[in-house]
């Protein structure tokens, strides 16, 4: 009879407790503790899991930070809000409100050092910019062009770019660069649009994905170049991650796509479809991201407080069954 040692060249190790699934990936062991069983661990593709909901349901705010330390501020509830919340990887905590309530704006940075720019104040296009230091909010230099409808924002609270958008004005190709004090004009996008998803963590490397009209472009710190489009064109979606490992998700649906620096691949869907939701993930956004809030296409209430967490890869411990 063939044995595991004969096939693999090693014995099956006996353990009194299971190791973590990621540590045990690809191995086989015998758990001697009741109920005893022969077990193994496998790696599977990424998936969304439900997280604790936000304290305030909202739509039309981008979000900032990572999967374990994120911020979401502003949005419509449906009234415009200045409410600010911080995520610690498990739950949301309300912080100090921002200065001016608004919605459909852009945000970037970390949970304790973020920047939000533009948006709509009472439906009117805004150029307002506010920064958050983890405790309080400060109004700083305005955008050169007031705009809303979910522009993109990539970078930090002291060095960022803000691109695309629209509102009362047509869809825009504008790209502005933030130096910690003021905004200046940078090279424009090739295709003017609104409702985009941003990818990137620094202001010298970014992706403007999707939008209306649809296009996908990459920023190298100097200019924008067209890159491969993702599988299903859509707008008002969210993004998380870097230019070589990122996710875009939602956009009036559940679709999630992964970007590896060259091409896009459809991966596991969101549990709840949404558009104009927020997203965050930092540099690990392709493997660890968070989706927050947005408009559900159906159900009540339409504006949601739902949070979903993405992990890729996921690991699972399995028990060997004998039949």
* pLDDT at residue 22 is higher than 80: no
Mean pLDDT of 229-246: 96
127 token code pair: 């150029």
Check residue 20 and give its pLDDT: 83
Check residue 3 and give its pLDDT: 56
Mean pLDDT of 198-213: 97
* pLDDT at residue 223 is higher than 50: yes
Check residue 103 and give its pLDDT: 97
The H-assigned helical ranges of 149-212 are: none
* pLDDT at residue 5 is higher than 80: no
* pLDDT at residue 7 is higher than 60: no
* pLDDT at residue 234 is higher than 60: yes
pTM beyond 0.85: yes
- pLDDT, one tens digit per residue, over 239-253 is 999 999 999 999 989
* pLDDT at residue 45 is higher than 60: yes
- pLDDT, one tens digit per residue, over 47-105 is 999 999 999 999 999 999 999 999 999 999 999 999 999 999 999 999 999 999 999 99
| Mean pLDDT score across all residues of the chain | 93
Q: What is the 3-state secondary structure (H, E, C) of 7-48?
A: HHCCCCEEECCCCCHHHHECCEEEECCCCCEEEEEEEECCEE
Domains for the chain: give ranges and CATH numbers: 4-44 (no CATH), 47-311 (2.120.10.80)
23 token code pair: 């540590």
Check residue 34 and give its pLDDT: 64
Check residue 1 and give its pLDDT: 53
Percent of the chain whose predicted confidence (pLDDT) is above 70? 96
124 token code pair: 């009117």
Check residue 4 and give its pLDDT: 47
- pLDDT, one tens digit per residue, over 260-302 is 999 999 999 999 999 999 999 999 999 999 999 999 988 889 9
Compare 32 and 217 and report the one with higher pLDDT.
217
Peptide bond into 313 cis (omega under 30): yes
Check residue 209 and give its pLDDT: 97
Compare 244 and 314 and report the one with higher pLDDT.
244
Distance CA 193, CA 150 (A): 10
């Amino acid at each position: 009879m063939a044995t595991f040692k004969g096939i693999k060249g090693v014995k099956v190790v006996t353990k009194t407790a299971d190791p973590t699934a990621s540590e045990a990936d690809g191995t086989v062991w015998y758990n001697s503790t009741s109920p005893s069983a022969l077990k193994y661990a496998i790696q599977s593709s990424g998936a969304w899991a439900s997280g604790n909901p936000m304290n305030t349901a909202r739509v039309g705010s981008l979000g900032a930070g990572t999967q374990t330390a994120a911020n979401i501020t502003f949005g419509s509830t449906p009234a415009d809000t200045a409410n600010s919340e911080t995520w610690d990887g498990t739950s949301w905590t309300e912080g100090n409100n921002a200065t001016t309530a608004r919605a459909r704006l852009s945000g970037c940075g970390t949970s304790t050092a973020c920047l939000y720019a533009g948006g709509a104040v009472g439906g009117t296009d805004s150029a307002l910019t506010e920064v958050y230091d983890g405790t309080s909010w400060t109004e700083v230099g305005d955008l050169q062009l007031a705009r809303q409808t979910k522009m993109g924002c990539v970078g930090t609270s002291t060095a960022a770019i803000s691109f695309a958008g629209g509102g009362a004005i047509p869809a825009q190709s504008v790209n502005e660069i933030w130096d910690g004090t003021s905004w200046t004009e940078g090279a424009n996008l090739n295709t003017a649009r609104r409702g985009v998803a941003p990818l990137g963590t620094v202001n010298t490397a970014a992706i403007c994905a999707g939008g209306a009209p649809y296009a996908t472009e990459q920023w190298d710190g100097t200019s924008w170049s067209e890159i491969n489009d993702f599988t299903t064109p859509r707008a008002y979606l969210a993004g998380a991650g870097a230019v070589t490992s990122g996710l875009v998700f939602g956009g009036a649906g559940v679709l999630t796509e992964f970007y590896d620096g060259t091409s896009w691949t459809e991966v596991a869907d969101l549990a709840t479809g949404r558009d104009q939701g927020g997203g965050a993930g930092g540099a690990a956004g392709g493997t660890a991201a968070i989706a927050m809030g947005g408009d559900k296409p159906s159900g009540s209430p339409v504006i949601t407080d739902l949070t979903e967490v993405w992990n890729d890869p996921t690991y699972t411990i399995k028990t060997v069954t004998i039949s």
